[in-house]
Structure 1
Amino acid sequence: MKIDPEDNHASLPRRWGVPLGVAAGVAALSVAAVAAFSGVGDAKPVLAGPAGNPTGAAASPSSGTTHGSTSGGAGSAPSSAPVTSAQDAFSITSGKTTPIAAGTVTKILSSCLGPDASRYHAVIAVRTPIASKDWDGVVVAVDSAGQYVQCESKGDKGNSPDSPPTFINNRLWGTGRTIAYFDSIGAPAGKDQYLMLGAGHYASNVAKIAISYGDEPKQYPAVMAGGTYVYAAALSPGMTEPDPHYAGPNAYVHAYDASGKEIYNQAKDPQFAG
């Protein structure tokens, strides 16, 4: 799903996936979403997040790893209802990412962007906690004009759900926006494992970005660099029997300023309700 660059409507950056391989019963999720949020200042690139996150191809890995966190609700809006079905429950098993070597990043961008690759330099490049059939990492890169591109990786090969891959460059930037979403993807990653990853752009007044999943209040730090953020999580669906159409819980973005005040909570944004 893509949202027209001129479309001001927004929805949760999630939907049921389409089978990648019918015979294998594999389901995947690939969504491009855009939203305009209240805030101050233009959403311009910065050399590093205010919290000191480094730029460059090998951005610092996130450390949000936990075990046994259970939550429910994977609907289109946050819910405070208790877990009533094992199929709605899940456990975040890891939120840890690791840097991708610079030489491999070059290959990923080259295969993803083709002749446009030389215009971009990576600001975040990380491997995900677990690998799915098609993805094991993500690279976010920027050009000299401050325009971004997101490429998912498998080994040293890059790909993008956008056509062209630079589609995200046309999305809604400008004064008064705190967060803009790039692509979020989810896919099975082996028995009783599911991979979620996503990325986006943040305004200069944001010092920290964290992600919560479903109705679980616990937040996991995103990797931040160059005006962008990346999150990735491994989860266990907690189902007694596998569901080939499982799409995982909604991922919600939380943004904080330098004082630690939450200045954006996607779960409370009326644009993502209903």
Structure 2
Amino acid sequence: MTTRPAPSTVTSTTTTPIDAGTVAGILNSCLGSEAPQFHSVIAVRTPVASSDTDGVVIAVNSADQYVQCETKGAKGTSMSVPPTFINDRLWGTGHLIEYFDSFSEPAGTGQSLSLGAGHYTPDVAKVTVSYGNDPKEYPTVMAGGAFVHTAAITTGNNKNSLTPTPYIHAYNAAGKEIYNQKKQPTTKP
């Protein structure tokens, strides 16, 4: 008899702010000589740490180019080379959300860290995230036109358990859902 792995569950989405002095060091180690051109709009620690990641900093420059730096302590790195994201990279008529890097990493026995970020247009008043087939939506951290979603996910002791896919939802100021990643493609023809 084979046993099915227990379903993964979100156990926390709580973040804590990273202080300004530490953010400066993170941006310096992530961006090098370009760091002074950027200012942080979101800087938070994740609800659980993996061996490589315990937070994220999203920063923007005067040309409205965003960067995402993952953190471990006071050091920052980027999955993208160069780490800059230009806002209209995927946008066209009707686009409301642009995605930056998103990933999941093991965070100790039976836990995983899920982390992702993106940018939204002024039409968006609220961004939430759901995971896998669970319809429950969790808040994201939003500031300066960017959002971050992060969660501690219990995967059980089965090493074959997968972290559920995050799906972004966006709402306008009236509370109407205007974007659902499960139902809409990320790019339009």
Tell me if both proteins adopt one fold, taking TM over 0.5 as the criterion: yes
Distance of aligned partners of 1:160 and 1:271 in 2 relative to their CA distance in 1, 3 Å threshold: closer
- Structure 1 CA distance for aligned equivalents of residues 90 and 43 of structure 2: 24
Matching residue of 2:173: 258
Q: Confirm or deny: 8 A CA contact 1:187 1:196 kept in the other structure.
A: yes
Matching residue of 1:236: 154
- Per-residue CA deviations over 1:203-259 (Å, capped at 9, x if unaligned) read 1010100000000010000000000000100011135x323xx54111000000001
- Structure 1 CA distance for aligned equivalents of residues 79 and 100 of structure 2: 10
- Structure 2 CA distance for aligned equivalents of residues 250 and 139 of structure 1: 22
1:86 Cα deviation from its structure 2 partner:
3.5
Runs of 5+ consecutive residues of structure 1 not aligned to the other structure: 1-84
Matching residue of 1:92: 10
RMSD after superposition: 1.7
If asked which structure has higher relative contact order (CA below 8 Å, sep 6+), I would say 1
TM-score of the aligned structures, taking structure 2 as reference length: 0.92
1:164 Cα deviation from its structure 2 partner:
1.4
The aligned length equals: 184
SS, match of residue 182 in structure 2: helix
- Per-residue CA deviations over 1:7-66 (Å, capped at 9, x if unaligned) read xxxxxxxxxxxxxxxxxxxxxxxxxxxxxxxxxxxxxxxxxxxxxxxxxxxxxxxxxxxx
Q: Confirm or deny: 8 A CA contact 1:187 1:194 kept in the other structure.
A: yes
- Structure 2 CA distance for aligned equivalents of residues 247 and 107 of structure 1: 33
Matching residue of 2:163: 248
Amino acid aligned to 2:86: N
Q: Confirm or deny: 8 A CA contact 1:97 1:126 kept in the other structure.
A: yes
- Structure 2 CA distance for aligned equivalents of residues 184 and 112 of structure 1: 17
- Structure 2 CA distance for aligned equivalents of residues 91 and 211 of structure 1: 14
Selected match of 1:119 from 24, 34, 37: 37
Matching residue of 1:198: 116
Selected match of 1:216 from 134, 158, 173: 134
Give the 5 Å matches for 1:46-57. none
Q: Confirm or deny: 8 A CA contact 2:8 2:162 kept in the other structure.
A: no
Q: Confirm or deny: 8 A CA contact 1:186 1:247 kept in the other structure.
A: no
Matching residue of 2:54: 136
- Structure 2 CA distance for aligned equivalents of residues 251 and 209 of structure 1: 12
- Structure 1 CA distance for aligned equivalents of residues 114 and 21 of structure 2: 25
Runs of 5+ consecutive residues of structure 2 not aligned to the other structure: none
Amino acid aligned to 1:259: A
1:176 Cα deviation from its structure 2 partner:
2.8
- Structure 2 CA distance for aligned equivalents of residues 271 and 181 of structure 1: 9
Distance of aligned partners of 1:266 and 1:107 in 2 relative to their CA distance in 1, 3 Å threshold: same
Amino acid aligned to 1:154: K
Residues 1:268 and 2:186 are matched in the alignment: no
Aligned residues: percent identity?
58
Give the 5 Å matches for 1:140-151. 140-151=58-69
- Structure 2 CA distance for aligned equivalents of residues 203 and 270 of structure 1: 16
